[in-house]
A and B are shown apart, each in its own frame.
Chain A
Amino acid sequence: MSIVETRVLLRHATDPKLATIDGYRSYGGYSTLEKAYGEMEPDTIVNELEESGLRGRGGAGFSMGKKVSFLPHGNQTKYLCCNADESEPGAFKDRELMQRNPHQLIEGIVIASYAAGISHAFIFIRGEYDVQADILDRAVAEAYEAGYLGRNILGSGHNLELVVHRGAGAYICGEETALLDALEGKRGNPRLKPPFPAVQGLYGGPTLINNVETLSNVSHIVANGADWFKSFGTEQSPGTKVVSISGGVRRPGNYEVELGVSLRDLIYGLAGGPLEGREVKAFYPGGSSSPVLTPAEMDLPYSFEAMAEAGSMLGSGSIIVADDSVSIPHMALRTARFYHHESCGKCTPCREGTNWTVKMLERVVRGEATPMDLDIITSVQGNIIGHCLCVLGDSMAMPVSAMVNKFRDEFEEVIARAAINGLPTTEGLESNGDGFEPGPDGVGLEVLQRERLMGRPVPESAQAAEELPRG
């Protein structure tokens, strides 16, 4: 396996000084911003971004340049929101980008705001990213002090206020319109689209919403040009991508690669493949909301278009590997439970569909289901997909549906075995993947975490068990 990372966003990331403005500048940071203000017209920047073909790194993969160009011209108040509410299970790339290189993000935000004539920007960061929010706060203060934020930036006449806003920890607030509602101080519920945020977003004004990684790319594109950017990746998926790989692999972590490298290179090469004696059984290619793929699809290139063609999606670029110790029905239940827990409840198919699916999958693992129930599960997922107000419902329906279809035999087997034993089956499995199973000493992992958070002592054996990789 000869694959190596192509580090653009994570370049110099190992240097802890990079998180400070001086460290960032020592690697040439903010020179692009100075160049942009000094010699570039906003329209030129927009053209460059559009030309580069940079696709949104948050999940939908929509062209970033196009999004900017949708914003109306004119003097009305426009907003930029950086979506740092990275809540998708399996995704942790934004966390590292913000933690190691916050100024790269800030520089991108300032340049994008300058290009789109925006004077108010927000970073909406999930509340759990406390450390990263502190780092951003410090970095933003440094940038204000250095004159890269605030009034009349570098004498250009452009003003930009940047606020770091901590979310309250709801997955749905990563949905762009729910994020806007939450930012406005309302209940974080998705809004009806159209109108799209570019037309009517935050406080009713035109709003540009982009992911952390997308905005982190901006300074590099503006510095080196669209052609340079397009020299990485594939024609439809240009550039590099920070991929979060987790699950049953030897070296989980973030890897920055050109888009279009093969999944095998990522999973077996960079992440070291499955643990000793294990095999890959299935994997989510783009976070827990992407339909699972099987080892048969291991040689596909990792790009937006190839993943879509395979019936899945690249999403936020988070690969979760399930090895042969994982029970797929339990994984399906765990996935469904997450989305059931996070559904906002505004639209019917998602609210009731996630709830019903969880109840049916619970019956599956309890052995109280029949194969006909598997048909109902698939049919219910079909009833959710495409009928919801936002994509949260689809995010559960697509992977659950894929798991039932691709691993139907295993579902039937689990039903049959559980029915015979009369008990939930964890036999032969290290983990049933749903997080609620009794761990060592009969203490569930969630219970364990809660105890520790509350400062109570936890059994040593249980502590050790917690360190073990979980399915």
Chain B
Amino acid sequence: MARKVPNRITLTVDGREIEADEGAMLVDAAKHGDIEIPVFCYEPKLGQPVGACRMCLVEVEGIPKLQTACSTPVRDGMVVHTRTEQVKEAQNAVVEFLLVNHPLDCPVCDKGGECPLQDITMGWGADRNRMVDEKRHFEKPVPLSPLIAIDRERCILCYRCVRFSQEVSEDSQLQLLERGDRSYVGTFDDRPYIAPFQGNITELCPVGALTNYTYRFQARPWDIEQGGSVCTLCPSQCNVSFTIRDEQVKRVIARDNPEVDDGWLCDKGRYGFQAMYSLDRVINPLRYEEGRPVPTGWSEAIDLAAAGLAESAGKTAALVGDASNEEGFLVQSIVRDGLGSADIDCRQAPAASRETVIAFSDPAISARTVDIDTADVVLVLGTDPIHSSPAYDLRIRKAVRRNGTALAVATDRPSALDGGATEVERYAPGQVASFLRDLAAGVASGSDSGIAGLLLGAEEAVIVWGERIGRGESGGEALAALLELSRALGLAGKAESGLIEIPDVANARGLREVGCLPDAGPGLSRTNVGRDVEQIRAGLESGEITSLILFGVDPLRDFPDTDGWRRALEVAGHVVCFSMNATATTEYADIVFPLESHAEKDGTVTHPEGRLQRVRPSAKRPGDIRAGWMALAELSAAIGHETGIHSAPEAFEAVTIAVPFYGGLTDVKIAGRGIRWQDNEAASLFAENLASASASNGAAASVSVGPAGESSPGTPGDSRPGDESPGGPDQKLTLGTYRDLWADTTTDLSPALNYLMPAQRLEISVADARRLGLSRGDDVSVTAGETSVNARVALRSALPEGTCFLIEGTIEGNANVFSNGRPARVEIGKPEVKLDLVAAGTAAAGEQPADGNQ
């Protein structure tokens, strides 16, 4: 289903000739003639118009009755009147009706001043109130969820929130209850509305009925300023606008960018701003003396850090995580040019080689995010967007719901998108390579069933894949098989088709392209090959590396093999840590530099589709925080490597010079909505400079791709390791792990989101649970070798027998202790007895709920 280019037609609105796309709704078409038709319920992002509020009634010549402009598609030669007496009467009438039950408590309403009901009443309403009878009453405000308060008296029943819940996020929790003027928005049985995108309804609400608890009575619209930026809490990089009062972020709202986020925002992006003002925030440089942090001035901290690094020159490594392109570029420059080391990585676990990265970055096989909207088939491979990049979850749902896109899901863990999928295939954790080999072979042989058949039948196909499939021993094979699959499908150069990678960290693509890889310099250029993240860890442990720069990473929480990292950090000689917050990792640092949040930073990031976007400073940096580029440039100078960078624009310029295919990109080109570097003139340099590398990879990638012996695609569970059967006498299960959306520091440090912090749970199939005598809510220990974590049992019927899942990044029982690159075989047993009295008390109460009367 290629994107259709609609015919241009001409219509007349209020005597003005307007050119518009044929079939566009009259409300939208009229805007091209600077004619505003008021609306309440109309919101194209929510799907088909419903014509419920009746605010947009207009006169269309040739039709006797007034028509709703929101649902009237424009035709050539149409003549429309929006300001005749008849229309004005209707508009006055609707405003009057809307105010019949509206409390008009504007002076104490948070929406006052930015309220469409106020604006439309002023613009299109009558100036008199004829209603003297009593208005309807509700208890108000009441919590609709822990994040949102609902004032049902203010509600004008436009249905926007209900439609969002039912047709966009598809959680279907919000319903309209009762009938007529007794109608109200609520949930079944008054249960709290718990969903990852709920905050959007507060933005959709055209009155003050839905308000954020985080923003209630915090500011009035005339006290605030809006600062447009980009959210860098996940790879979706949604465009946001920060509401600033007294130089602090008070609220985050979406900044509609249809090519990136469709104007939606997940709750982490919306409410996570609270972490910026947490007590754990590092607000000035710290040095650790006898294990205790001591606030330090910037120049002293830089001197100390530089001295330590210089001492171990050549034996220094760096890991980069939450960083802008400029920061990443400067870190690699310090390591490579300043300290003469090649040991730098921006990944949490070893993954693709330079050649593979180049192959996947090739503009020819890259899809645009918007290609998902119109694709015939979308394959979601090895990632669950709701956890890894929530905006993609909504976009894929939209494609399925509105465009009829067929969705295929191939993951190890059941995904949130399974319900809308045409084909779902499951592979056992760690078996993605053989799954992909089979899929590629199926496509090559013209299979007409399963995902292969679906992909072959598609004119346009988009594959959304998770970086994680490249992890582990067989990661290289998996990526080679994925390339083989895209070759078999002929995705290279095909319009509106291609691949999009969902990486583990927000700016992964940018960091790779500016050179934060052990085997690739800026612009993915050939360079001395250094150690990757795992080799750096090993190097620290063996003493081959003595100093370490950690920029926006927290290995003890986020990286696989927690114990290994703890050992490595314990013996590391000199650790310079750049971090927003005090973490387990900063405890091991010698010097800690504070990092800016995405509301304070000035820099660029690169979206998974290659779009460079600009993070703009909107709020004041708390305490004595300095810009990241500045700290790095000073550090670089202190170790004797002068970068010549003295401002943020210079830092970005340095990046565009160092990365040839970013060449010529400027702030002006990036502007408010970003620009894909593939769409910039310099993109041709990618092919010119890197074609040979990519081609050589092509040869290297042609490792045995064919049906893999014992396994066949389409039967989940068949691709399990052959040597151990799931129900075998050892009773062991194959453990997979996943990163939960809420298992991170942002959730910990944002009081509003605290309640979402997941406790460790063991997802297990019903059959395995029965076999092991477990039921929902049981406390168990999950053990592999010497390592063990405690978890609570959660049954998942969609989980294939023989596999189980734990969450990475939880505060207690972080599953990262296991995942050292290989799928673990785990044993489920009784939990270790804890001496912690509080925990023991909770467990006891959990076992005997009848006793929990107090």
Residues of A participating in the B interface, judged by any CB pair closer than 8 Å: 170, 187, 192, 340-349, 351-356, 359-360, 363, 376, 383-384, 386-389
With A192-B49, A352-B97, A387-B54: A345-B157 Cβ-Cβ less than 8 Å: yes
Contact with A along B46-73 (1 / 0, CB 8 A): 0001111111010000000110100100
10 shortest interchain CB distances as A-B pairs: A383-B93, A345-B183, A359-B133, A352-B97, A343-B180, A355-B181, A192-B51, A352-B100, A345-B180, A348-B97
- Report yes or no: A340 in contact with B94, Cβ–Cβ below 8 A: no
Q: How far is the CB of A338 from chain B (nearest CB, A)?
A: 11
**Which A residues are CB-close (under 8 A) to B65?**
386
- How distant is the Cα of A388 from the Cα of B94 in the complex, in angstroms? 10
Q: How far is the CB of B416 from chain A (nearest CB, A)?
A: 24
**Which B residues are CB-close (under 8 A) to A346?**
50, 52, 159
**Which A residues are CB-close (under 8 A) to B101?**
352, 355
Give 16 new A-B contacts, CB below 8 A, not counting A359-B134, A363-B133. A192-B68, A192-B71, A345-B157, A346-B52, A347-B51, A347-B53, A348-B156, A349-B54, A351-B97, A351-B181, A351-B183, A352-B181, A353-B97, A384-B93, A386-B65, A389-B54
- How distant is the Cα of A363 from the Cα of B66 in the complex, in angstroms? 32
**Which B residues are CB-close (under 8 A) to A170?**
179
**Which B residues are CB-close (under 8 A) to A348?**
52-55, 94, 97-98, 156-157
With A192-B71, A356-B131: A345-B179 Cβ-Cβ less than 8 Å: yes
Q: Does B444 contact A (CB under 8 A)?
A: no
**Which A residues are CB-close (under 8 A) to B156?**
348
Interface size on B, residues (CB 8 A): 37
- Report yes or no: A387 in contact with B180, Cβ–Cβ below 8 A: no
- Report yes or no: B180 in contact with A354, Cβ–Cβ below 8 A: yes
- Report yes or no: B133 in contact with A360, Cβ–Cβ below 8 A: yes
**Which B residues are CB-close (under 8 A) to A192?**
49-51, 68, 71
- How distant is the Cα of A148 from the Cα of B180 in the complex, in angstroms? 42
Q: Of A343, A347, A359, which is within 8 A of B54 by CB?
A: A347
Contact with A along B97-134 (1 / 0, CB 8 A): 11011000000000000000000000000000011011
- Report yes or no: B96 in contact with A383, Cβ–Cβ below 8 A: yes
Q: Does B645 contact A (CB under 8 A)?
A: no
Q: Of A342, A355, A389, which is within 8 A of B52 by CB?
A: A389
Q: Does B24 contact A (CB under 8 A)?
A: no
**Which B residues are CB-close (under 8 A) to A355?**
100-101, 136, 180-181
**Which A residues are CB-close (under 8 A) to B4?**
none
Q: How far is the CB of A176 from chain B (nearest CB, A)?
A: 16
Q: How far is the CB of B453 from chain A (nearest CB, A)?
A: 24
Main secondary structure of the interface of A (DSSP, over half): helix
- How distant is the Cα of A270 from the Cα of B344 in the complex, in angstroms? 99
**Which B residues are CB-close (under 8 A) to A389?**
51-52, 54
Q: How far is the CB of A389 from chain B (nearest CB, A)?
A: 6
Q: Does B182 contact A (CB under 8 A)?
A: yes
Within 8 A of A (CB), among B60-98: 65-66, 68, 71, 89-90, 92-94, 96-98
**Which B residues are CB-close (under 8 A) to A344?**
179-180
**Which A residues are CB-close (under 8 A) to B55?**
348
- Report yes or no: A345 in contact with B133, Cβ–Cβ below 8 A: no
- How distant is the Cα of A389 from the Cα of B157 in the complex, in angstroms? 14
Q: Does B683 contact A (CB under 8 A)?
A: no
**Which B residues are CB-close (under 8 A) to A347?**
51-54
- Report yes or no: A345 in contact with B182, Cβ–Cβ below 8 A: yes
Contact with A along B149-164 (1 / 0, CB 8 A): 0000000110100000
Residue on B with the closest CB to A363?
B133
**Which A residues are CB-close (under 8 A) to B130?**
376
Q: How far is the CB of B47 from chain A (nearest CB, A)?
A: 12
- Report yes or no: B181 in contact with A354, Cβ–Cβ below 8 A: yes
With most chain B CB atoms within 10 A of its CB, the pick from A347, A354, A384 is: A347
**Which A residues are CB-close (under 8 A) to B306?**
none
Q: How far is the CB of B99 from chain A (nearest CB, A)?
A: 9
- Could you give 28 example pairs across A and B, Cβ below 8 Å? A192-B50, A340-B180, A340-B181, A343-B181, A344-B179, A345-B176, A345-B179, A345-B180, A345-B182, A345-B183, A346-B50, A346-B159, A347-B53, A348-B52, A348-B54, A348-B98, A348-B157, A349-B54, A353-B97, A354-B180, A355-B100, A355-B180, A359-B133, A359-B134, A383-B96, A387-B57, A387-B66, A387-B94
Within 8 A of A (CB), among B547-600: none
**Which A residues are CB-close (under 8 A) to B49?**
192
- How distant is the Cα of A359 from the Cα of B134 in the complex, in angstroms? 8
- How distant is the Cα of A346 from the Cα of B57 in the complex, in angstroms? 16
- How distant is the Cα of A409 from the Cα of B556 in the complex, in angstroms? 85
- How distant is the Cα of A363 from the Cα of B132 in the complex, in angstroms? 11
Contact with A along B797-836 (1 / 0, CB 8 A): 0000000000000000000000000000000000000000
Residue on B with the closest CB to A341?
B180
- How distant is the Cα of A337 from the Cα of B179 in the complex, in angstroms? 14
**Which B residues are CB-close (under 8 A) to A387?**
54, 57, 66, 90, 93-94
- Report yes or no: B131 in contact with A351, Cβ–Cβ below 8 A: no
- Report yes or no: B180 in contact with A342, Cβ–Cβ below 8 A: yes
- How distant is the Cα of A363 from the Cα of B134 in the complex, in angstroms? 11
Q: Of A341, A351, A360, A383, which is within 8 A of B157 by CB?
A: A351
- How distant is the Cα of A345 from the Cα of B182 in the complex, in angstroms? 8
- How distant is the Cα of A354 from the Cα of B183 in the complex, in angstroms? 13
- How distant is the Cα of A389 from the Cα of B96 in the complex, in angstroms? 17
With A386-B65, A389-B54: A349-B181 Cβ-Cβ less than 8 Å: no
Residue on A with the closest CB to B51?
A192
**Which A residues are CB-close (under 8 A) to B131?**
356
**Which B residues are CB-close (under 8 A) to A383?**
89-90, 92-93, 96-97
Q: How far is the CB of A329 from chain B (nearest CB, A)?
A: 17
With A345-B181, A351-B183: A356-B93 Cβ-Cβ less than 8 Å: no
**Which B residues are CB-close (under 8 A) to A352?**
97-98, 100-101, 181
- How distant is the Cα of A342 from the Cα of B178 in the complex, in angstroms? 11
Q: Of B134, B159, B179, which is within 8 A of A343 by CB?
A: B179
With most chain B CB atoms within 10 A of its CB, the pick from A341, A352, A356, A387 is: A352
Residue on A with the closest CB to B70?
A192
Within 8 A of A (CB), among B17-63: 49-55, 57
- How distant is the Cα of A453 from the Cα of B178 in the complex, in angstroms? 24
Residue on A with the closest CB to B130?
A376
Q: How far is the CB of B809 from chain A (nearest CB, A)?
A: 40
Q: How far is the CB of B132 from chain A (nearest CB, A)?
A: 9
Residue on A with the closest CB to B73?
A194
Q: How far is the CB of B90 from chain A (nearest CB, A)?
A: 5
**Which A residues are CB-close (under 8 A) to B68?**
192
- How distant is the Cα of A342 from the Cα of B180 in the complex, in angstroms? 7
- How distant is the Cα of A343 from the Cα of B176 in the complex, in angstroms? 14
With most chain A CB atoms within 10 A of its CB, the pick from B51, B97, B176 is: B97
- How distant is the Cα of A383 from the Cα of B88 in the complex, in angstroms? 11
Residue on A with the closest CB to B48?
A192
**Which A residues are CB-close (under 8 A) to B178?**
345
Q: How far is the CB of B530 from chain A (nearest CB, A)?
A: 59
**Which A residues are CB-close (under 8 A) to B53?**
347-348
Contact with A along B167-183 (1 / 0, CB 8 A): 00000000010111111
- How distant is the Cα of A383 from the Cα of B181 in the complex, in angstroms? 17
- How distant is the Cα of A384 from the Cα of B90 in the complex, in angstroms? 9
Residue on B with the closest CB to A350?
B180
Residue on A with the closest CB to B156?
A348
- How distant is the Cα of A153 from the Cα of B348 in the complex, in angstroms? 68
**Which B residues are CB-close (under 8 A) to A388?**
54
- How distant is the Cα of A170 from the Cα of B180 in the complex, in angstroms? 11
Q: How far is the CB of A301 from chain B (nearest CB, A)?
A: 26
**Which B residues are CB-close (under 8 A) to A343?**
179-181
- How distant is the Cα of A460 from the Cα of B66 in the complex, in angstroms? 55
Q: How far is the CB of A9 from chain B (nearest CB, A)?
A: 33
With most chain B CB atoms within 10 A of its CB, the pick from A341, A342, A349, A353 is: A349
- How distant is the Cα of A351 from the Cα of B178 in the complex, in angstroms? 12
Q: How far is the CB of A188 from chain B (nearest CB, A)?
A: 9
- Report yes or no: B180 in contact with A351, Cβ–Cβ below 8 A: yes
Q: How far is the CB of B185 from chain A (nearest CB, A)?
A: 11
- How distant is the Cα of A348 from the Cα of B53 in the complex, in angstroms? 5
